[in-house]
Copies of this chain bind each other. A is one copy, B any other.
Amino acid sequence: AIVARAEALLGGRRDLEGRTVLVTAGPTREPLDPVRFISNRSSGKMGFALAEAARDRGARVLLVTGPVHLPDPPGVQVERVETAAQMLEAVLRYAPQADVIIKAAAVADFRPAHPAEHKIKKGAAAPVVELVPTTDILKELGRRKAPGQVLVGFAAETQDLLENARRKIREKNLDLIVLNDVTQPGAGFEVDTNVVTLVYPDGRRQSLPPMSKRQVADAILDALPWAGATSAQA
């Protein structure tokens, strides 16, 4: 107990010791042709910060990430994927081992229905791209959620934030959603800080002040059932 207290005072909480945390990060890329794709502004920084924070709190961490320009965090098992379909496959493969799954990835909701085999040429006729929905990974994880497994989602919205977040919690069987107003300065994609509100299934919400993505990561881990627990080893 004294050791645990000292660790806590030093910021060295080990409350996830013995737990496996699966984190997803980054965007996905959905090919239009061999060189072009649809993607989004996710940098992967929030997911990587979560992976590092969970590792520092003693968890075994599995990180599945789309294409980002960030090095593998030491001590984290990293799998790099490109498309939403590859992300789904990897996440479903790891999910049964995970006590916590945090989906920080900005997975494409749509992909081109018919990617071209060769580079599309400039032509007289303006091309029209038919999109089809990708599989909703978070919903799929919610459907398969094991007893005691904790599922955390993100909502990067530009309108009707709280309403959309509450609908997502219900529809996807989440334990926590991290609501992110990407229209705010210092929030969301491609920046090192974030401004989030944590929303719980019982309707409670907790607005956090602007802070670094690493601090947001620790605030999210603080909301887990085991937060502050003294680990078996301590």
Which of A's residues lie within 8 Å of B, judged by CB? 32, 34-41, 69, 106, 108-110, 113, 118-120, 122, 126-133, 136, 156-159, 182-183, 189
**Which of A38, A69, A118 neighbours the largest number of chain B CB atoms within 10 Å of its CB?**
A38
Is B39 in contact with A37, judged by CB distance below 8 angstroms? Answer: yes
Is B35 in contact with A36, judged by CB distance below 8 angstroms? Answer: no
A207 to B127, CA, bound (A): 34
Which residue of B41, B131, B157, B159 contacts A129 across the interface (Cβ within 8 Å)?
B131
Q: Which residues of B contact A37 (CB under 8 A)?
A: 38-41
Interface residue SS majority, chain A: loop
Can you list 16 contacts pairing A with B, beta carbon distance less than 8 Å? Answer: A34-B158, A34-B182, A35-B158, A36-B38, A37-B39, A37-B41, A110-B127, A118-B158, A119-B157, A122-B133, A126-B132, A126-B133, A127-B131, A128-B130, A128-B131, A129-B131
A59 to B113, CA, bound (A): 47
**Which of A39, A113, A183 neighbours the largest number of chain B CB atoms within 10 Å of its CB?**
A39
Q: Which residues of B contact A131 (CB under 8 A)?
A: 126-129
Is B35 in contact with A189, judged by CB distance below 8 angstroms? Answer: yes
**Whole-angstrom distance between the Cβ of A222 and the nearest chain B Cβ:** 27
Give 8 new A-B contacts, CB below 8 A, not counting A36-B39, A110-B120.
Answer: A35-B189, A37-B41, A109-B120, A119-B159, A122-B136, A126-B133, A128-B128, A128-B129
Is B130 in contact with A126, judged by CB distance below 8 angstroms? Answer: yes
Q: Which residues of B contact A157 (CB under 8 A)?
A: 119
Which residue of B35, B40, B108, B189 contacts A41 across the interface (Cβ within 8 Å)?
B35
A126 to B118, CA, bound (A): 24
